[in-house]
Structures are given as C-alpha cells and as structure tokens.
Structure 1
C-alpha cells in the first residue's frame, strides 16, 4: 500500500485572510483577556497561601491561616490538626485542600467523616471554599467525581472499600480521626491501606484513653516516625497511662501535629466555671448498690469485671438503666437459686422511689431560666430524666445517635426555640453546635476525659457570649469516684504529650 503525502497550501490562504480581516486569533482585546487570565492564575512563589483571595465567602482567622501554612510548608501535607474543639479544624482542612487544588498538586480527594458530619462538610466546601464536592451514595461511580465525602462506616465495607482502592486519591482527610483508635480496628486497617500523597487527620483529642492511640495515628501519617511499637514502648517506657522522656516525645509529635488552644488565638473567650457536685445515695439506693456488688459472689452471670462495672455505673445513673442489664443477665443464670436471688435484687431496685442524682439535676436546673444540656450515657436514663423533669414542669427534648439527621436538626430547633433542657447521649457530644446554651450537666461521667471535652465543646466554642457553667455529678463511695480518679490520670498523660487542656474537671 502506497501513501501519498501532499503539501497543502490552504494554511497560507487562511493566514492571509486572518491578517486582512483581523481574525479572532490576533484580536488585541482577546489577547489581553487571555493574558490577564494566565497572569491571574500564575503562582510566582510557593511560600504563603494563595487560596484566601479566591474565597469571598470566608474570612479565616489568623490561627487557621497559620495552621494551613505550617502543614503545607513544614509538614508536606501530612499532619494531625488537633486544635481544641470549636476553633475551626474544618476551615483549616478546607484551606489546605483549596491551596493544593489551586497549585495543581491535588485533583482527587476523599474525605472520611462520621455520618452525622457529612452534610456539614459538603456545605462548607461548596459554599465557603467553592470546592465542588458530593456526598457519597451507593449508586455513585467514584471515578466520575474528583472530591467525595463518605462516612467512615460505609468506606470500610465491601464493595465501597474496593471501589475506593481502585481510585488514585491525592489527598485523604479524616475527621474525628480518634475513631481510628488502633491498628486492630477495621477502619484503621482500611485507612492504612489507602494511598496517601497528602493526608490530614482531624481530632481535638488525639489521645482518648492511652498514649498508644497517638502512636498509631502518627504511624498512619509517617510510618516509623516514632519507631515501631516495641521501640516506642521501650524508648519512652510507655504504658497506657504513663511514660518517660515526655519532652522529647512532644518534640517529635509537634513535627506532625498542629494544635491551637483557645488562649493562643488572640480571640477573647468566655470562661469555664467547673464544679464537681457530690451526690449522696439514700439508704435504700445504697442497699441496692451493695446488693449489686454482692452478685459477683452469687451468680456466674455476674462474674465478669465488665458486667459488674456496667451495673455499678448504671445504678449511679437510674434504676431504669440498671433494670435492663439485670433482666438480661437474669436469663443467663445457672440455676433457679441464682435466678431467684437476682429477682430479689430486681424487686428491691424497682421499689426505689427516689433518684438522688435526678433530684440534684432538677435542683441545678430550677436555679436558672437559661438553657441546659444534660449528658447521660444511657438511653433508659435519658427517657427517665425526660419523664422526671416533665413531672416538675420542665420542658425537654431528647438527642441520641438513633435519630436520623432530619430528626437531630428538629430536636436542636425545638431546644433552641421552645424547650429549656436537651437530654443527650454521647452522640450529642459530636457534630452539634449549641452556642446559645451555656449550662452543661455531666449526669454520667465517662472513663474517657476527651468525651468530656467534646461535650463541653458543643457550647464553649466561637460565638459563645457567656461563661460556661459545667456541673460534673459524682456519687460518693461508688465506682464514680474511681472514674473521677482515672480521669485525672488520663488528663495528666494527655497534657504531658499533647499540651494543656482547658478545665473539664475542677481541682481534685
């Protein structure tokens, strides 16, 4: 086969025509417009942020701009953003993502967040940062979208996990990164397997219960930065709640972590007024509490330490919460004698007419006309408290993790506009902003001090105009005293490695 190539002279005719008729390609107006576009998009230096001038709907605070600069210029886009609750970690992450998009270093990004925060991420990135982002749904093809927000629980499961692995993401952002916990969780294993050119981990509480949680977070960002597990444990004589050479460890941590405290932002913040409120059981409540302690010697169903701890905590909360656990365990008793013994405890429990902690809660609420948020660990206690407060003429709404987003938003609206009290389980300590409220009652204390910080951070954040009143209820001579002691130990570890905390407990 012979191919004949001929020289065309048509280009010459077109060239002459464009010269004579002032064709589009040599229009001086179009040339200037094109020149201006190229000049505007030209980035002449790498230092400093370019993104703020493209964000007319956002006025970042100084500490947010400095955090973004630090991550980009000193940490190469791999960092833990660990500002205290309410200081705008989402804004910092948005600035960093926008900067990398403008510079052409990021094209595809994946954002993993708790389900309750997905819509917040989509709204902020779309409207504040002009970043086109969508919330992932099951019928979405990931290769058709550059920036996607997805829930952690969805991402770690098949077939979504495999679909994500098939993409080449330039940046991974993980909100509430403390939920990764350690290398044994499925979400940790999933994130560890992701390709991560740039990676941001957002958490105000990088240590929740023990120092090894921070080790695992940093190992996700920079494997080997703190050595392997055995080397880390040996170098810092690290145990869950203690370690040595903490100054050197903090220096290493600060190479990959940005943490702003409220007092460092230059913003005038309201104060926290924290009280520990002691609760005295009635004689009848004390009798039932002691009977529960004796169950470990009576029934094999109650021999586990976890079961006994759960029951003791529930008894300090409400008889309703305690009954549910006792009733379930009664069904696992080894013989009729054990079952009868447990039944006797249940009868004593249900005969109680007074809940001393609920009475103290009412006493605190009755002294103010302001909004109050109560945190309890048990939905049974939540329901009881609503009934009890209603019997005293106090309006309240519930808030827990079983509610869909639309119901959560409606409950928040009812609290703001109508009810005096919001009664929340732990789910209320995450992803809801309540600056219009400044009274917090920690009805049940968690083992984890960072949960307290998350709870308080719902009200003590930008926009709060009043001092925040915090009441931590502790029942004397019960497991709650042990919980309080452990909280102080864990706070001490956190402050050694990460930095000081705002008050969440009053002086011991």
Structure 2
C-alpha cells in the first residue's frame, strides 16, 4: 500500500479526466488558462494542480490571488475537499483569518491593490514588501501562482496589474476565468500579458510565454478540444461528465442522464401611456452609460408607492407565484440596492417575511452573510430563522462570483447587467457540475412591449441589445459560449428580420437610383429613431455605438456616410439572424433577391427551430458564428477520446483504487470508538514528517471515519491523540 508522494489526500472528490488534465497542461506549458464555464469545478482543478506540486515538494510556495470577497471561500473549499491548510493574508489591519506571510508557504490573498506604494493596506501589497517575504527578490520565487476571476485585472495600467508586474514572479501560473472577455478582445490580451509578466524569469530558461498572436491557434473552436496538452481549455459541464463516462467504456446514448433542461422565460410587460410620458421625459438628455443608469431609477421615480400598478413587478410576482413550486427556490438579481429593497417589500407582502431574504452590502456583516448564503445554498442542516427562505433577492456584486446555490433552480433577472458575461455568471450560481438538486433550471428576463401612439423609450430591451451586441461582435469570435442571452434574440427574431429587410431596401434604392444619402449625423439619428421604433435618446446611443465601430476600422477620421451606417446595421442584423437560424442561407437568398420580403420573414419564423438553451455558439472555419447542439458537440469530440485522455483516466482510476484500499485499512484501526494511533502511524509511515500531507491526510481520515460511524470523537481529540503518539 503506497502513501506519501503518490497518494492524494483522502477525499470524497469525484475525479474526472478533463479536470485532472490541468496537471498535464501545467507540466507541458508552465501555465494554463482554464476558461471552463461557471460551475464546472475550477476549484477542483486548482486543488489537483496544487497536489501535483506539493507531493514532490512539500515546502513549495503557492499563492492564490482571488477577489477579496471570496478568500474565505477558497480557504474553506481547499481545506474541506483536499485538507490543505492555506493561510489568508490581508493588509496589516487584516481580519481574524489574516496571518504573517513569513510563517506559511500556502497563502491566499485578495486581488485588490493599493495605489499608495508605502501603505500596504491590501494583502497583494503586503506580500510585495521585501521585509515581509525577504527571499522574493531573487528568481522565480513562487512555485505556483493561481489567479482566480482573473478578468478582474482590468487593463495593464491598473494598480493590481502594476503591483503584480513589479513585485511577483512564478515558475508556473494557473489562470481561472469562466468569462475572460466581458467587453472586448483587448481584455484577453491583458490576461495574456499578466501571465507572461509573472513568468518573465522563466523566459530566460527557454519558456515560451503567451501572447495574443501565438495564442490565436488555441482559441475559437479549438478551445473545445480534449487535448490535455493545450494550455487553454473551455469545457462545459455536460462534456466533462460525458467524457468520463466514455473513457470508462459506458454508452452515452441517453441525453437525459447528462443534460440539464435549461428553460428560458421571456416575460413582457405593458406600461400605460401616461407613465410612458413620464419615463421618456425622465430619460431625455442621458447618453451612453448614463442612459443605462437612468433606466434603473425609473421604478423609484415613476412607480414610487404604486406597487399595484408597476407592470414589471406584477409580472415578476405572477411568475414567482405560478412557476416556483413549493420545494423550489428563486434568486432575484438586481443591480442596485434600492431595487433590492423595492422587490423585498413587495415579496414580503405576497409571501410573508420568512420566505424572503434581501441582501446588499449593508444588510449583514461579511462573515455572517457568507455563512447564511452557504447554508441557504446547500440546506444540509436547519439554521433557525433562514431555513424557510425560498426567495433570495440579492445585489449583483455579492453573488456573481464565489457563490454556490444548487438548491435554487430559478434565476430571475429583474435588472439585466451590462455584459453577457455577467448573465453567464448569474446562471452559474445554480447550474453546478456536482450537488445539483433539480433537473429543470429556469432563467427569467423581462422586456417591455412597444406601445402605440406614444414616444417609446428602450428600457430592458436596451440592456438586451447591449448584451447581444457584445456577445456576437466581441466574445464569440474567440470564446465559444453557452450564453442564455442568445435565446433572447430568437424570441424577437421576426422584428430583426423586418429591420433587416428594410435596410436592404434602402441600400437597393441607393444603388439603383444613385441617391445621395449625404446627410448629417442628426438626421441619421432621427431616421434610426424611426427604424428602431425607439425614442431619440436611445437611437442616438445606438448610432454612436455604430459610428465608433466603423471609425475603429479606418485609418483616417473621414466622415461616416449614411450608406456606411446602414451597411453596418445590415451586417449586425445579418450576424444576429445567422446565429439564431444556424446559418445565413436564408439571408443570402434574400440579399440575392430570390425571395420577397414577406416570404423571407415567414421563412425566418419557420426556420427558428434550434433550441438555443442547449447549444454552444462558436466561430467556424469560414469565420461565421454558428451554433452546435451540446449533443452533437459531444458526439464530435467525446465519442473518440484520444490516447492522452484514456491515459489520464487510467491514472485517476489507480488513485481511486489506492484510496479505496487505504480507506479500508483506516477502518481496521478503529475499535470501540477509539483509534489505534500506532497503527495509523504505520499506515502513514511513507509520508514525510513535515509534509503538508500529514495534516491534509489526517483531516480527511477523520472525516471518513466519522462519516462511516467508526468513531464519534471530535477533531480536536483526534489530533491530540495523534500528537501524543508522535511525541512518544
């Protein structure tokens, strides 16, 4: 029976080949970018990477850099699942869990950084001080640096990026982000620069560092390959599960075993003409980001003290009453504190205080909030006043990272975020690779109906258009996505088709009759206002977005013509139609005048059959964005696993077999609720005395023996008994 360097800490983790592949990725390249979707087990992959390093070097120096709000999540997960006892480093005025970085080699710190060089009020700054970590000034000091939610490193000029660049270096880097691009490809370039910066001293040893140019061959559809030597991975939960079953030799004919039923609900609401007048008046004069902020205040300004006539709130209440069954739970996401309070007030009147919990940054202390959310999310035990909560109303910044809510199965987007990445993060709170309680997962969003005979201001539709535009134009080119925002376009595909035909007609007129469309930007705004059917403010915003996109493609600042603007809009609608329909065949037939307008719109409606909530969208070999059903993707890349994947599964099976044998041996050392620590010492004889595996394995042995009823003593007594034996 082997222990020590070849035995993983005793654990209940279900190992999967695609997760275990992180070891190969790091060994081969020195870095790995894990872009796997939200809830697919990136913490497990990190634990495996750490285990692989410290099994050969128990004193390896490992640092995890993550958002400050989830440092304790990382500490808890690695302790519970692997037995690794990391220490949290915060500023000098740190919390209860803060430690002195000079006395530990496994550390976690927040990714915030101070702009004041001589005031180390954040952990990242404190670790950079040479008097705190004196050896750091020479060589690649950290054996492994893990950067979680790394998309938060915004721009190379940010204080956190500059702190990393000036003070940190590593032998290996593990980069984790389910949403590496939120707005533009430049964000991915920053992330590549960040890893290259950390590995600068490794370049001297011949290491090839990542750049945007040499990484392009791994992006797009190649991210979905099962090659464990690829430094980039973009795996989806269903593929991870299917791959394990396939390399085990099991048949995967039944989709129901592996695919969750993701249901999208589009709730529409109508606002009466009088309130529309108040809304459009409120939005006048707002542009750009300010326009979206102004939308968020409408429920306060227009529907204040009028809960019975707020049509959006009424639709929300109706859905929660009709669709959320007695044993189901819903998370209602808001982007503003005022909205959380507004929704909670209405829900408590409808469902009672016990079933509703509202959370903003002001409602609970950080430690209490984390404990409450953890228990609500798992419901492993009862916990007093919160055990009856069915509706969690929460502000975005508290819940889009580091929160697991597998007992919930409804996500209600009362307010949509600014990016499709945040929608993906929200859905990932309930869609987890393990511990799922529900087969049906629901995502809800709202959209206002366009009224007749009143000036129309875009409300929720403004956020929908913004997210769809970012996803189609900026993200899918490089990162395949299973984003539910795609389904939103398909609900309104006929409207997109009509607009597409109208623009094509205008361009035909220009071409045939050589019409001079040389008009001012103001006139363009007015025309697009009519075309989109929205108020002038929103039309101006759309025009400005199109204008800047066109300018970015030019070498000069020459004036954008009306025809260019129309062509740009046509291309945007063509891309949207192609994504939803699966190809651009119908659009090309219409552009070639092979179909009339009515025939085209009718055909678009008939062809919209793809169920986008179970599809992956990616950029194909022809440069077009196309969907592929998850079942088809599985058949394409999983049914014929390569030798590397089979080898990984063989290694996993050997580890699990060793663990099984070791567990049986552990049972034999217990008798009459006591542990024979002498025999336990003999079992662990191959583990070095100062190895991290001593504490890690002891914790997991205790958990296993306690779970299987072999002992009833508490952990403190167990460790005391072990220490007494070792002292002898």
- TM-score bin (small chain): 0.7 to 0.9
Deviation at 1:149, TM superposition (A): 1.0
Deviation at 1:252, TM superposition (A): 9.0
> CA offsets per residue over residues 405-451 of structure 1, 9 Å max, x none?
31342256468521221101112222221111111110111111111
Deviation at 1:263, TM superposition (A): 2.5
Q: Which residue of 2 aligns with 1:499?
A: 480
Q: Is the 8 A contact 2:420 2:483 kept in 1?
A: no
CA separation in 1, counterparts of 2:463 and 2:330?
24
2:425 equivalent to 1:454: yes
Unaligned 5+ runs, structure 2: 93-97, 131-135, 198-207, 225-229, 243-257, 380-386, 450-456, 490-728
Q: Which residue of 1 aligns with 2:390?
A: 420
CA separation in 1, counterparts of 2:65 and 2:102?
17
> CA offsets per residue over residues 273-319 of structure 1, 9 Å max, x none?
1122222223233122111123x2xxxxxx6643333112332xx21
Q: 1:266 to 1:442 in 2, by over 3 A?
A: same
2:266 equivalent to 1:312: no
Secondary structure of the structure 2 residue equivalent to 1:422: strand
Q: 1:264 to 1:350 in 2, by over 3 A?
A: closer
Deviation at 1:55, TM superposition (A): 2.3
Deviation at 1:247, TM superposition (A): 6.6
Deviation at 1:269, TM superposition (A): 3.5
Unaligned 5+ runs, structure 1: 1-35, 43-49, 237-245, 297-302, 324-347
Q: 1:175 to 1:156 in 2, by over 3 A?
A: farther
Secondary structure of the structure 2 residue equivalent to 1:265: helix
Q: Is the 8 A contact 2:399 2:426 kept in 1?
A: yes
Q: Is the 8 A contact 1:171 1:197 kept in 2?
A: yes
Q: Is the 8 A contact 2:64 2:107 kept in 1?
A: yes
Deviation at 1:162, TM superposition (A): 4.8
Secondary structure of the structure 2 residue equivalent to 1:506: helix
Q: 1:197 to 1:484 in 2, by over 3 A?
A: same
With normalisation by structure 2, the TM-score equals 0.52
Q: Is the 8 A contact 1:374 1:423 kept in 2?
A: yes
Counterpart mapping for 1:84-103 below 5 A: 84-103=37-56
2:239 equivalent to 1:264: yes
CA separation in 1, counterparts of 2:115 and 2:25?
27
Q: Which has the higher mean CA deviation after the structures are superposed, 476-485 or 89-98?
A: 476-485
Q: 1:253 to 1:225 in 2, by over 3 A?
A: farther
Secondary structure of the structure 1 residue equivalent to 2:26: helix
The CA RMSD measured in Å over matched residues stands at 3.0
Counterpart mapping for 1:330-409 below 5 A: 350=304, 354-367=309-322, 368-369=324-325, 370-394=328-352, 395-402=355-362, 403=364, 404-409=366-371
CA separation in 2, counterparts of 1:411 and 1:59?
22
2:27 equivalent to 1:73: yes
Q: Which residue of 2 aligns with 1:61?
A: 15
Q: Is the 8 A contact 2:19 2:41 kept in 1?
A: no
With normalisation by structure 1, the TM-score equals 0.73
Secondary structure of the structure 2 residue equivalent to 1:496: coil
CA separation in 1, counterparts of 2:240 and 2:483?
14
> CA offsets per residue over residues 96-145 of structure 1, 9 Å max, x none?
11111112297111111223322221123234323331122437331221
CA separation in 2, counterparts of 1:409 and 1:174?
24
Q: Is the 8 A contact 1:400 1:428 kept in 2?
A: no
